[in-house]
Structure 1
């Protein structure tokens, strides 16, 4: 790249770095940009901001955080519509298949029941909650009114406070919360984003959202963080252009 080329870099540092990188290192070496070999599927859901001109096989589009989030939301909505599932379920599917829409479709239409079973996306409860006026929580074993009992798609009953603590603890432990399952050791039901947003506080919701955003960038073969040391703190991403 010629030193005289004008480059408009869009950066966004609103989200805290939950992965523990050195927040004080903000040097970014744009001469060390690397290419992604996989070609990008055609997709008009993102807005092109800047193209770094170089050799023909090294063209990039620099996107800021809001553009990536919009692209992520559009991908989730697309899968949810095509498969006739909730956006929370679509997110679980995309996370499992590294945000590849084609892999999700291939697996789902080949054997929907198998995919649902493996990922804990049950379409009906596997146990029936008793019709009693009070239900026993599966964690603290106290009795609670039915309106104070919640469960994942499996139907295992838990009191609101226990389930909230279970989810919040997982979120505060790190990005493993994105594959959280029912507290019952014998159950694999997924705890999806809808349940998270229903139960936890705003701080945990923001952390969960950030983990999901970073997952989209780091597990998606078509998107790369800028390789400059410490630059990922600024959420600067590189997307190969076609």
Structure 2
């Protein structure tokens, strides 16, 4: 999680190979339909929620009048990368942190920038369930454990060397095996991507993309995670 380059929001060759195997299981993950025309109510005014009552269609309109463009996962990822780069040109945070911030604001760059510079960064990062990057160095020093003895994992209660433990900036550390099992369960069984939090009880700090991709070893799980992230756009 210390590196900003660990997750580049692109599919690698190994993951593309397993996409064929998982196509039958999750065909809806490969493409998304993006509506290009917003619904318009009578009189030409757009409803705030994009709805016109029950059907969301204006007078004389039917579903065939709407234009849709099918985007591939790669196209969506490219759009996400561009959004992250544009925001980071200004706020200069780790890419994975910026992705979480953008996701919190439904990828509304203007709204994020407005909140970011309103003078209350601590509140913003708290709402987004991430640690302020400017405070990471202090947090890391406070939570560094140096011990030559084996330590018990607080999930499986097995003893491991200190080097076998890892965690987030919140300071909660668990063995890598438990981390991998936890993330796999959240991704595969619960279908969670952008909202996976620290395994520690009552800790709401979100797991960043670098950490997920570093601790997950199965290509199928990595691919599923990437699809869940792209579907958040």
Report the counterpart of residue 161 of structure 2 in structure 1: 145
Report the counterpart of residue 195 of structure 2 in structure 1: 179
TM superposition shift of 1:20: 7.8
Once the two structures are superposed, residues 128-177 of structure 1 have per-residue CA deviations (whole angstroms, 9 ceiling, x without a partner) of: 24321233322112221122111012111100000111011000124433
Distance 2:26 2:105 in 1: 22
- Tell me the C-alpha RMSD between the 2 structures: 3.2
Distance 1:128 1:92 in 2: 23
Report the counterpart of residue 122 of structure 2 in structure 1: 113
Report the counterpart of residue 56 of structure 2 in structure 1: none
TM superposition shift of 1:17: 7.5
Distance 1:208 1:146 in 2: 28
TM superposition shift of 1:19: 6.5
Report the counterpart of residue 5 of structure 1 in structure 2: none
Contact between 2:36 and 2:69, CA under 8 Å: does it hold in 1? no
Structure in which a larger fraction of residues adopt helix = 2
Report the counterpart of residue 128 of structure 1 in structure 2: 143
Unpaired runs of at least 5, structure 2: 1-18, 41-45, 47-64
Unpaired runs of at least 5, structure 1: 1-12, 40-57, 217-242
Change (3 A) 1:135 1:105: farther
Alignment of 1:133-212 (within 5 A): 133=148, 134-200=150-216, 201-212=218-229
Moved >3 Å (runs of 4+): 13-21, 58-64
Q: Secondary structure at the match of 1:183?
A: coil
TM superposition shift of 1:100: 0.9
